[in-house]
């Protein structure tokens, strides 16, 4: 179907206002990635229900902790991407890994219990996250730094808008049809997203010298950058704050407040609206004030969510937590990648991306057990949530210090 010249011109004008005046190749890649992101939004909306599904299948908070921990294996092994990209381009490696992961996720249609569902989700997340350094290199290659924040925000806006629509429908579908059917359909959309990404035009490929390194080499390279390492301390504390509290959230939702999947879908809708708005806010903050300002504010907002869970006695008391989570998700999505690119040396982008991903992975592999461990020591759940909130504020202090260095 061909758009009328008038409508095409109007849409192009809106696109220019949102992302800026772009060259034709940049504009083409933006449009392709938006289509890919829209399809991915359905897949991502389904993934947000995984902890609740595991809990509903009889999993205790410790099982959710295991799930969250294992989902970070892809970060730990992100250095593998450097080895694969000696033979493959970043795009080829990323698309291959994403496609395999989403095909495997479709096996949830035959998963008959929490252990098998956990195993499938673990393999999917491994293949989903390992290409992160390749994706960072692709972003550096295709989008000019002067417009990167707005472009990333617009792409994520498409994804978040899809999630906004899909989340309540997926919640309803889980109540009516069950997770095997819903997760299978979500996997189809995830597969479609990776296939659309193949059409991206990569204008510049990384030099060979950038690929002959390991994760350990990458860590050695970034250690001398004091700003980057101070920022990484904040990233570690940010992740610990999230992962200390997150494994306990489904217990509050399902067991304490007795929320249905439909209730969670409606709360997820609120979160998606917040996420949607957040991309526009953070994209402009990144372009105008820098990525580290975006990250600092994101860390501060994170502190709201655990406090809301600490004192919630009804589902609607979780609304501030879901609003905060939406803003934090958007801020971290844009801010972490942009901060890494901002602080890295131009010819060593992948090494910095691998180092950040590895640090995030090691942190994420251990941190999900902190909250459950504190509960095991007899510390009350609200106290654990308040501790997580304090760690988020400490993370903001570190990122702000890095910004001022």
Show me where the domains of the chain are located. 22-198+213-404
**What architecture is the 22-198+213-404 domain classified under in CATH?**
Up-down Bundle (1.20)
Q: Is the pLDDT of residue 77 over 70?
A: yes
Poorest-confidence range of 11-15, 98-102, 135-139, 400-404? 11-15
Alpha-carbon Rg of the chain, whole angstroms? 20
The Cα 147–Cα 133 span in angstroms is: 20
Poorest-confidence range of 38-52, 212-226, 303-317? 212-226
- As a whole-number percent, the residues of the chain with pLDDT over 70 amount to 88
The Cα 368–Cα 236 span in angstroms is: 13
Tell me what percent of the chain is helix, strand and coil, each rounded to the nearest 5. 85, 0, 15
How far CA 386 is from CA of 62, 68, 157, 302, 312, in Å, comes to 19, 20, 31, 12, 13
Mean pLDDT of all residues in 213-223: 63
pLDDT tens for each residue of 343-400: 777 667 777 777 888 888 888 888 888 888 898 898 999 999 999 999 999 999 999 9
The Cα 364–Cα 352 span in angstroms is: 18
First to last CA, the chain: 53
pLDDT at 12: 57
pLDDT at 211: 47
Q: Is the pLDDT of residue 341 over 90?
A: no
Q: Is the pLDDT of residue 185 over 90?
A: yes
Which are the contacts of 69, defined by CB distance < 8 A and separation ≥ 6?
Answer: 364, 365, 366, 367, 368, 369
Q: Is the pTM of this model over 0.85?
A: no
Average pLDDT over the chain reads 83
- Output 210 or 34, whichever has higher pLDDT: 34
Question: Residue 377: what are its φ and ψ, rounded to 5°?
Answer: -85, 0
Q: Is the pLDDT of residue 207 over 50?
A: no
Of 141, 87, 150, give the one whose Cα is nearest residue 346.
141
Buried b (16+ CB within 10 A) or exposed e, 60-90: bbebbbbbbbbbbbbbbbbbbbbebbeebeb
pLDDT band at 191 (very low <50, low <70, confident <90, very high): very high
Kindly give the residue spans of alpha helices, DSSP state H, lying in 22-131: 24-47, 50-56, 61-70, 73-76, 80-84, 90-105, 114-129
């Amino acid at each position: 179907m061909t758009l009328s010249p008038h409508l095409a011109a109007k849409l192009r004008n809106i696109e220019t206002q949102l992302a800026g005046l772009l060259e034709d190749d940049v504009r083409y890649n933006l449009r392709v990635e938006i289509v890919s992101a829209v399809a991915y939004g359905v897949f991502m909306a389904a993934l947000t229900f995984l902890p609740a599904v595991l809990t509903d299948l009889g999993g205790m908070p410790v099982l959710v902790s295991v799930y969250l921990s294992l989902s970070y294996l892809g970060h730990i092994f992100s250095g593998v991407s450097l080895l694969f990209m000696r033979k493959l381009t970043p795009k080829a490696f990323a698309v291959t890994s994403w496609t395999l992961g989403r095909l495997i996720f479709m096996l949830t249609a035959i998963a008959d219990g929490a252990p098998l569902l956990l195993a499938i989700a673990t393999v999917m997340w491994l293949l989903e996250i390992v290409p992160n350094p390749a994706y960072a290199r692709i972003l550096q290659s295709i989008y000019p730094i002067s417009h990167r924040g707005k472009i990333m925000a617009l792409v994520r806006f498409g994804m978040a808008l899809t999630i906004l629509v899909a989340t309540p429908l997926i919640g309803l579908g889980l109540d009516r049809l069950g997770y095997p059917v819903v997760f299978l359909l979500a996997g189809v959309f995830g597969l479609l997203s990776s296939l659309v990404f193949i059409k991206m035009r990569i204008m510049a490929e990384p030099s060979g010298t950038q690929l002959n390194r390991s994760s350990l080499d990458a860590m050695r390279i970034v250690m001398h950058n004091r700003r980057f390492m101070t920022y990484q301390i904040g990233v570690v504390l940010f992740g610990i704050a999230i992962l200390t509290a997150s494994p306990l959230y489904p217990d509050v939702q399902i067991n304490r407040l007795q929320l249905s999947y439909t209730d969670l879908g409606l709360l997820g809708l609120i979160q998606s609206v917040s996420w949607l708005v957040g991309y526009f806010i953070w994209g402009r903050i990144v372009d105008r004030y820098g990525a580290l300002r975006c990250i600092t504010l994101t860390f501060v907002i994170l502190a709201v969510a655990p406090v809301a869970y600490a004192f919630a006695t009804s589902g609607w008391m979780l609304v501030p937590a879901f609003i905060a989570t939406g803003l934090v998700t958007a801020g971290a999505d844009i801010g972490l990648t942009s901060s890494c690119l901002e602080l890295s040396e131009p010819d060593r982008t992948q090494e910095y991306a691998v180092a950040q991903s590895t640090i995030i992975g090691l942190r994420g592999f251990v941190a999900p057990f902190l909250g459950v461990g504190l509960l095991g020591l007899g510390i009350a759940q609200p106290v654990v949530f308040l501790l997580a909130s304090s760690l988020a504020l400490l993370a903001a202090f570190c990122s702000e210090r890095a910004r001022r260095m």
